[in-house]
Amino acid sequence: MPPLALSARGALLGLALALTATCTVPLAPKPAAETGRVEVGPEIAAFYRGRDFRPLWTDGRTLRPEAYQLARQARSPALDRAVAAARGGETAALVRADLLLSKAYVAYAAAQDRAPAQADMRYVEPGLAPVARSPRALLEAAAASPASALRRNPAYDGLVRGLARYRASWGRLPQTRVTGPGEALRRRLGAASDAEVTARLRAFQDIHALPVTGRADPATIAALNRGAAHYERLIEANIARARAIPARPGGRMVLVDTAGARLWMIEDGRIAGSMRVIVGKEGMATPAFASTIRYAALNPYWNVPPDLIRKRAQGALRRGPGVIAAEHLEVLSDWSPGARRLDPRRVDWRAVASGRRYVNLRQSPGPWNMMGRIKFMFDNPYGVYLHDTPLRELFDRADRRESSGCVRLEDAARLGRWLFRGRPPAPTGAAEQRVDLPDPVPVYIIYLTAIPTRDGVRFQRDVYRRDRAVS
């Protein structure tokens, strides 16, 4: 950091003595409400002592840009006043603001490191959940990279920015109730003409997951009448969901959003690529959890889910057991590695269809296989993984809830190239060929009904009806 001016050095010498003695900072001979001693704990004191009492959020003359960003996110009136007072460059005000900003940052960052219970995220393996850090560790990380101090992951960071923009745009408009076209609608949209009403309606519909018609149809009127506060709470609920993903500076992760049926590849805190996916259908929703992708299986088998086994059994009853072989399915006695292969003609398909008997149906590798040519494996109790698929037409649908819980990939080869750092494995032709990744990559499967965009946020359909608690 740039050296402090001489006057600031003198002020910080007093700061050093005060911190060493009492872990408080006297900033005025006669304390007042906004100029009295600033209480700091021993770890914050140790942080400043370890850096020779150099400030963190100022350069000795003015506040750094990160200080203003932190003040906006922390939303503390006392901090706002201290930051405003420091704008004048007076040394004592800068010192006070620096200390209050460090306290605010510790509180803010510690809160982000606590995975919220309402996020409903299950961490399958250790090391995937956000980890609480000490105040000193938080401040040292901020000092090492001030620009990334307030960053967490692209979903969280974008939603935080999006919430601020939503409040500054739709939230600032009159929240009056409307019943249809007219003067009340014009005031509600902040529009001065019919053309502006149409343009504003189209913008509102685009952001709020409505058909973009530019007309004040009943669905749009109902959405307007929910009020901006309702949508701000929805954004906050999604910020909480995104907070379940820890900060991974310099690392890689795969993020799957089941509400929007989309996957992102994230590297060094930035999006390296994305693709559409197929997720669990109604009644078989893809769960929210975190695990680690450790290997790929080339030329995989497809183990048919139990509900589909019963459907295949019904087909065998109607059309004969030949339909089992026609789908390249093998009948196994059970799900164990030592399962015996059974003759489809000798299976009691009526008992299988009714649930009185259990068999395993396994589809052999090939272009017909529902796993496609590759699947990416990670430990979880749901039998969920990421995989290729031959059913390409499903990716053109707006509603992509078609699977039994697994995540089907629009471009499995591209994900494979990224996971294997540009060196995807070559298949040998063997079934279930295992190839370990060069580095394990965390995967977070999450549910976001608001996503960040370049201009703010866009809401998504609550396809799994998990937003009911948001009033």
Superfamily of domain 254-323+367-459: L,D-transpeptidase catalytic domain-like (2.40.440.10)
Residue 245 CA: distances (Å) to CA of 114, 154, 156, 268, 376: 10, 10, 8, 14, 20
- End-to-end CA separation in angstroms for the chain: 47
Residues 332-354: tens digit of each pLDDT: 988 888 889 999 999 999 999 99
Between strands 386-387 and 374-378, the pairing is antiparallel
Mean pLDDT computed over 155-162? 93
User: What is the identity of the amino acid at 99?
Assistant: L
Burial of 184 (0-12, 13-18, 19+ CB in 10 A): middle
The whole-number pLDDT of residue 469 equals 78
Per residue in 312-324, is it b (16+ CB within 10 Å) or e — as a string? bbebbeeeebeeb
Which range has the worst mean pLDDT, 223-237, 276-290, 337-351?
Answer: 337-351
Mean pLDDT computed over 84-100? 88
Which range has the worst mean pLDDT, 105-109, 278-282, 454-458?
Answer: 105-109
Position 116 confidence tier, pLDDT thresholds 50, 70, 90? low
- The closest of 172, 177, 275, 262 to 458, measured between CA atoms, is 262
User: What is the identity of the amino acid at 94?
Assistant: L
The whole-number pLDDT of residue 6 equals 32
Q: Which residue has the tokens 């299950």?
A: 122
How far from the centroid of its chain's Cα atoms is residue 157's Cα?
Answer: 9
Where are the domains positioned within the chain? Answer: 6-147, 163-235, 254-323+367-459
The yes-or-no verdict on residue 30 having pLDDT over 80 is: no
The whole-number pLDDT of residue 448 equals 97
Mean pLDDT computed over 171-187? 93
395 within 8 A of 276, measured Cβ to Cβ: yes
User: What is the identity of the amino acid at 195?
Assistant: A
Phi, psi (degrees; rounded to nearest 5) at 58? -130, 165
Mean pLDDT computed over 316-320? 91
The yes-or-no verdict on residue 31 having pLDDT over 70 is: no
Mean pLDDT computed over 320-326? 91
For 119-154, give the secondary structure using H, E and C.
HCCEECCCCCCCCCCCHHHHHHHHHHCHHHCCCCCH
Half-sphere exposure of 63 (CA within 13 A, CB side): 28
Beta bridge partners, 257, equal 262, 446
Q: What are the catalytic residues?
A: 387, 406
The H helix count followed by the E strand count for the chain is 15, 18
The whole-number pLDDT of residue 177 equals 93
The yes-or-no verdict on residue 24 having pLDDT over 80 is: no
442 within 8 A of 254, measured Cβ to Cβ: yes
Average pLDDT, the chain: 88
CA–CA separation, 387 and 408 (whole Å): 5
| Residues ≥6 apart with Cβ < 8 Å to 110 | 132, 133, 135, 138
CA–CA separation, 80 and 88 (whole Å): 14
User: What is the identity of the amino acid at 61?
Assistant: R
- The closest of 157, 122, 413 to 286, measured between CA atoms, is 122
CA dihedral 355, 360, 366, 368 (to 10 degrees): 0
43 within 8 A of 135, measured Cβ to Cβ: yes
446 within 8 A of 244, measured Cβ to Cβ: yes
Which range has the worst mean pLDDT, 58-62, 238-242, 346-350, 453-457?
Answer: 58-62
Which range has the worst mean pLDDT, 48-57, 142-151, 235-244, 376-385?
Answer: 142-151
362 within 8 A of 303, measured Cβ to Cβ: yes
In the chain, the percentage of residues whose pLDDT exceeds 70 is: 91
Quickly list DSSP for 246-287.
Answer: PP-TT-EEEEEETTTTEEEEEETTEEEEEEEEEEEPTTSPPP
Q: Which residue has the tokens 């309402």?
A: 118
The whole-number pLDDT of residue 96 equals 87
The yes-or-no verdict on residue 434 having pLDDT over 90 is: yes
Mean pLDDT computed over 352-370? 91
300 within 8 A of 371, measured Cβ to Cβ: yes
For 156-191, give the secondary structure using H, E and C.
HHHHHHHHHHHHHCCCCCCCCCCCCCCHHHHHHHCC
